[in-house]
Amino acid sequence: MEQMIKLTIDNKELEVAKGTTILQAAKEIGIEIPTLCYMHLNDMNIEHKPGGCRICVVEVEGRRNLAPSCNSKCEAGMNIKTHSMRVLNARKTVMELMLSDHPFDCLVCAKSGNCDLQTIAQNLGVREIHYKGEQSTYKVDYSPSIIRDMDKCIMCRRCETMCNDVQTVGALSAVNRGFESVVAPAFEMDLQKSTCTYCGQCVAVCPTGALTEKDHTNQLIRDLADPKKTVVVQTAPAVRAALGEEFGMEAGTLVTGKMVAALRNLGFDSVFDTDFAADLTIMEEGTELLGRLSAHLAGDKDVKLPILTSCCPGWVNFFEHHFPEMKEIPSTARSPQQMFGPIAKNYLAKQMGVKREDMIVVSIMPCLAKKYECQRDEFKVDGDPDVNYSISTRELANLIKQANMDFKTLPEEDFDNPLGESTGASVIFGATGGVIEAAARTAYEVYTGKTLEKVDFEALRGMEGIRSAKVDFDGLELNIGIAHGLGNARKLLEEIRDGKSEYHAIEIMACPGGCIGGGGQPLHHGDSSVLKKRAAALYREDEGKAIRKSHENPYIIKLYEEFLGKPCGELSHKLLHTHYFDKQNEIEVE
């Protein structure tokens, strides 16, 4: 049995398990102590407590020094004050010191209003900074997805924990010492040259404006104002389950209709759904899966299994950098974003009578890796990107605020057709396990020729980092693996590399939770219940849909009849599939 100890916090007596930190104990009785460097990701078993910033100090009776509550354990009989005069003064001093070398451009900082450093400084009532520190002037690093402005870094090193421990990418490390220290890629090279996957998880946990996404909203405003341009938009599944949070709505509120209304108000010519393209992805990826599976079962030794999903560009970057020797295993199907682009610019543009160069395709994504993906050369025709650029959920929220819309009271509107119609299968793409469930629904019916009685594959759902399930295809048992978070993906990849993998198909998503936990989503501050609520919202939307299997989407059927021919056919290969590159540094021996 757990040993319990008694102590007093702010005159309240309580009992906690031995080993509990003062911070956790205070939380149990509803006392919030400010923290900056501390980060607790409950579902991922990650507790980052370097104890460096000291903003969380409390007074322990009888002790000379204040104690950092995030990494001090409770002891029996302790009498703790979390907001005595001494504590508040100390926190204020700590904050002033942190701000003494901080650039004073809060008003125009991308993180303003969403910045923990700013909020805590405000709450502490810091009105003056009594210390004048030397200002650091580190070069700002602009990558296609992420901007690093290390002058705003407070060296909490939360980003490092995300990148190294959760994602196992290892792109970031604290370098140099003392005043010169920053968090940077190897040799302080630009992020773009490093092994970064642009998953954006570091951005998602940075408490300051040191790490932010590359903002495309100004570009978008310019394009919307240009009468010569036809601007169409696609919105990813995970956005609708999180956007509301930016407007004070409860996590897990579905705001699909309001989001469509807001986009229309902003002036988009058509508002479409990436879900349509997700249905298309299932047609292509599912056909590829069945093709590889049948060949494998027929004894073709050249056909490799498992097949891995390829709809997450963060994951694609990961294997290109870290497992290039396995780049033939993932499906060649493009991500839904990159399927939507060529369909819009080659099929829809013709229908609308718009020239390719006059059409701007924008995507709203929970994701920062998608920004980079838009720029990949394979996804351009004569220099014109299939998807011009992508905007994160957070950027969309800012844009709606800029346009002065009262989001909560917007009417519910429907997507435009033909690229706005989608099935329940595509909606769940946004949550871990959703892609493979959607694929199973279609692959089952195509493979067996029978109608699926129950479309819900509950065994594939959940939040465990690595999951496996068996799916019965009328006597053929398929082993399905699911991993989210790149650290988990790495484990499955190592199994495959070592010849130990028993899976037929594996779904991989770079972000913990899948896209609902993407690097471009509203910040969840480590609270994984937010992710669960977002996932539940997507499964609710799936359940409410009349059509829940991708191959039954009438507009998908029409698209194949009118334009594409058949899944994995010639035109599909040209427009909807891709190939991968070896991006690992090679050590050449001279």
Partner 1 sequence: MAKIKLAKDKVEKLIEICKSFNNEGSELINVLHKAQGTFGYLPAEVQEVIARELGVSVAHVYGVVTFYSFFTMVPKGEFPISICMGTACYVRGAEKVLEEFKKQLKVPIGETTEDGKFSISCLRCVGACGLAPVVTIGERTYGRVSAGDVADILKEYRN
- Footprint of ligand SF4 (CB under 6 A): 146, 153-159, 162-163, 167, 169, 171-172, 183, 196-202, 206-208, 210-211, 312-315, 366-367, 369-370, 509-511, 514-515, 518
Q: Name which of partner 1, ligand FES, ligand SF4, none residue 314 binds, using a CB cut-off of 5 to 8 Å depending on partner kind.
A: ligand SF4
CA dist 238 to 106, 163, 337, Å?
A: 30, 22, 13
The tokens for 222 are: 């310019």
The radius of gyration of the chain's CA atoms, rounded to the nearest angstrom, is 25
Please tell me whether residue 167 binds partner 1 under the rule CB under 8 A.
no
Is residue 74 flagged as an active site residue? no
Look at residues 567, 569, 571 and name the one whose alpha carbon lies nearest to residue 553. 567
Catalytic hit among 214, 345, 370, 533: 370
Q: Which residues pair with 79 in a beta bridge?
A: 8
Binding to partner 1, residues 303-342 (CB under 8 A): 324
Is residue 312 flagged as an active site residue? no
Among the residue ranges 348-356, 549-557, 559-567, 580-588, the one whose residues contact partner 1 (CB under 8 A): 580-588
Find the length of the chain: 590
Count interface residues toward partner 1 (CB under 8 A).
29
CA dist 115 to 102, 211, 238, 433, Å?
A: 13, 11, 23, 32
The tokens for 421 are: 């119609």
Q: What is the DSSP secondary-structure string of 510-562?
A: SSTTSGGG-TTSPP-TT-HHHHHHHHHHHHHHHHH-S--SGGG-HHHHHHIII
Compare residues 160 and 421 and give the one whose CB is closer to ligand FES.
160
Compare residues 453 and 588 and give the one whose CB is closer to partner 1.
588
Residues 553, 279 contacting (CB under 8 angstroms): yes
Compare residues 78 and 463 and give the one whose CB is closer to ligand SF4.
463
Is residue 331 flagged as an active site residue? yes
Which amino acid type is present at position 181? Answer: S
The tokens for 369 are: 């890796």
Compare residues 36 and 463 and give the one whose CB is closer to ligand FES.
36
Please tell me whether residue 52 binds partner 1 under the rule CB under 8 A.
no
Distant-in-sequence, close-in-space partners of 501: CB < 8 Å, separation ≥ 6:
306, 481, 492, 495
Q: Name which of partner 1, ligand FES, ligand SF4, none residue 70 binds, using a CB cut-off of 5 to 8 Å depending on partner kind.
A: ligand FES
How many angstroms separate the CA atoms of 498 and 487, rounded?
Answer: 17
Catalytic hit among 325, 357, 378, 562: 378
Compute the least distance from the CB of residue 186 to partner 1, in Å.
4
Residues 550, 429 contacting (CB under 8 angstroms): no
Residue given tokens 């002058």 in the structure block: 151
Q: Which of 175, 405, 459, 536 binds partner 1 (CB under 8 A)?
A: 175
Compute the least distance from the CB of residue 165 to ligand FES, in Å.
17
Catalytic hit among 72, 331, 422, 550: 331
Is residue 468 flagged as an active site residue? no
Compare residues 163 and 391 and give the one whose CB is closer to partner 1.
163
How many angstroms separate the CA atoms of 160 and 348, rounded?
Answer: 43
The tokens for 223 are: 């394009």
Among the residue ranges 136-144, 212-220, 253-261, 582-590, the one whose residues contact partner 1 (CB under 8 A): 582-590
Please tell me whether residue 585 binds partner 1 under the rule CB under 8 A.
yes
Is residue 180 flagged as an active site residue? no
Catalytic hit among 284, 288, 507, 541: 288
How many angstroms separate the CA atoms of 118 and 36, rounded?
Answer: 11
The residues that touch ligand FES, with contacts defined as CB under 6 A, are 35-38, 51-56, 68, 70
Which amino acid type is present at position 396? Answer: L
Is residue 378 flagged as an active site residue? yes
Is residue 370 flagged as an active site residue? yes
Q: Could you list the residues that contact partner 1 (CB under 8 A)?
A: 164, 169-177, 184-188, 193-195, 324, 581-590
- Catalytic site residues? 285, 288, 311, 331, 370, 373, 378, 515
